[in-house]
Homo-oligomer: A and B are copies of this chain.
Amino acid sequence: SKRYSITLLPGDGIGPEVISVAKNVLNLAASIDGIEFKYEEVPIGGAALDLTGLPLPDETLLSAKQSDAVLLGAIGGYKWDKNEKHLKPENGLLKLREGLKVFANLRPATVLPQLVDASTLKREVAEGVDLMVVRELTGGIYFGKPRGFGTNENGEEIGFNTEVYAAYEIDRIARVAFETARKRKGKLCSVDKANVLEASMLWRKRIMEIALEYPDVELSHMYVDNAAMQLIRDPKQFDTIVTNNIFGDILSDEASMITGSIGMLPSASLGESGPGLFEPIHGSAPDIAGQDKANPLATVLSAAMLLKYGLGEEKAAKRIEDAVLDTLNRGFRTGDIYSTGTKLVGCKEMGEEVLKSV
């Protein structure tokens, strides 16, 4: 029997509820293959701020680093909104990504046949959308230096950030993207703003260079403004998208909304080696926290990504994905994906139904 250690980061808002469901599903699905987990549950975000005064306590980062994989619920809430930058819950997440060196963020956006009508896009446009955004996660304007506040030559107050990419950062995310595309439909679209930004010009140059290693993958380039349009006009044209940190932040959220079910969408953040970070793409939803209303399926599917991408346990991962589809087929829906004729359940009950389907 195999043993893995998992760091659980429930975080804020609905985080603890969805993590609790995902943990149960993970346990059951993996036990069938004789896999066992040792969990360490540690605080991050607002919860950590309240306990320790810091959004990412040293012990949390240490636990995460020493684990085989990290499963995160959600972070943030109104309570800490006015905090200074380094004391915001978000900063805990950014420091965790940096600390784990998880530079590759995989965000699938899939329209499930059962949930086509949840999209605000017309059925014929939304049906069959199945794309993956590969977002660079530890570079670019999020981490670039210099950054801060100052005064310009006229004594005016300024705020500034640096968008910067080094060739090796682009090369490694490019390889992840090409590998991902190769396992999917073999199409990769690189999104940049190379008609304006030097950082994007280097991006495009390196992507074209790395493309030589992947002659079987069909590569295209698109400007970010056009990509924002094309995702709405015809999302099915995309298979795999690779882009920088800030464009990836925007476009992956846009792509997720196209599916109409962001309560369903997982993500994986991976590094060169070391534990990956797995989390739903939705936020902490403070307005429904503690009310047993959250959709736990994004976190359950994040646990499936953890098995697949984090531990290489593809069979157990597939078991979870199938269980989620089966639960949907049996008609169970949380409020965010409810439609007439289906069965409305809370977070816990949804978890129990998924367990039955495993």
A residues with CB within 8 A of B: 85, 88, 90, 94, 120-122, 125, 141-142, 144, 147-149, 152, 154, 156-168, 193, 195-203, 224-226, 228-234, 246-247, 249-254, 256-258, 262
Bound-complex Cα distance A159 to B251 (A): 22
A89 nearest CB neighbor, chain B only: B195
The 8 Å CB contact of A159, one of B85, B200, B250, is B200
Chain B residues within 8 Å of A201, by CB = 85, 149, 159
Chain B residues within 8 Å of A251, by CB = 228
The minimal Cβ–Cβ distance linking A243 to chain B, given in whole angstroms, is 11
Complex contact A160–B144 (CB within 8 A):
yes
A249 nearest CB neighbor, chain B only: B225
Interface of A is mostly: helix
The minimal Cβ–Cβ distance linking A91 to chain B, given in whole angstroms, is 8
Bound-complex Cα distance A156 to B139 (A): 14
The minimal Cβ–Cβ distance linking A89 to chain B, given in whole angstroms, is 9
Bound-complex Cα distance A311 to B160 (A): 36
Mind listing 22 A-B residue pairs with CB under 8 Å? Answer: A85-B198, A120-B232, A148-B198, A149-B202, A154-B166, A158-B164, A159-B164, A159-B198, A159-B199, A159-B202, A160-B162, A160-B165, A161-B163, A162-B162, A162-B163, A163-B163, A224-B250, A225-B252, A226-B253, A229-B262, A232-B257, A254-B254
The minimal Cβ–Cβ distance linking A232 to chain B, given in whole angstroms, is 5
The 8 Å CB contact of A141, one of B94, B147, B163, B203, is B163
Listed residue (A85, A90, A234, A247) with the most chain B CB atoms within 10 angstroms of its CB: A85
Chain B residues within 8 Å of A256, by CB = 229
A160 nearest CB neighbor, chain B only: B164
The minimal Cβ–Cβ distance linking A166 to chain B, given in whole angstroms, is 4
Listed residue (A142, A193, A225, A258) with the most chain B CB atoms within 10 angstroms of its CB: A225
A167 nearest CB neighbor, chain B only: B157
Chain B residues within 8 Å of A141, by CB = 141, 163, 197
The 8 Å CB contact of A142, one of B152, B196, B229, B247, is B196
Chain B residues within 8 Å of A193, by CB = 246, 249
Known contacts A193-B246, A196-B94; decide if A159 and B203 are in contact (CB<8 Å). yes
Other A-B pairs, 6, CB within 8 Å; known A158-B166, A159-B200: A156-B168, A159-B203, A160-B162, A161-B199, A228-B254, A229-B262
Complex contact A258–B246 (CB within 8 A):
no
Bound-complex Cα distance A228 to B148 (A): 26
The 8 Å CB contact of A228, one of B88, B195, B257, is B257
Bound-complex Cα distance A160 to B228 (A): 23
Known contacts A250-B228, A251-B228, A262-B229; decide if A166 and B162 are in contact (CB<8 Å). no
Chain B residues within 8 Å of A152, by CB = 166
Bound-complex Cα distance A147 to B247 (A): 19
Chain B residues within 8 Å of A225, by CB = 249-250, 252-253
Complex contact A249–B233 (CB within 8 A):
no
Chain B residues within 8 Å of A254, by CB = 228-229, 231-232, 254
Bound-complex Cα distance A186 to B154 (A): 34
Chain B residues within 8 Å of A258, by CB = 232
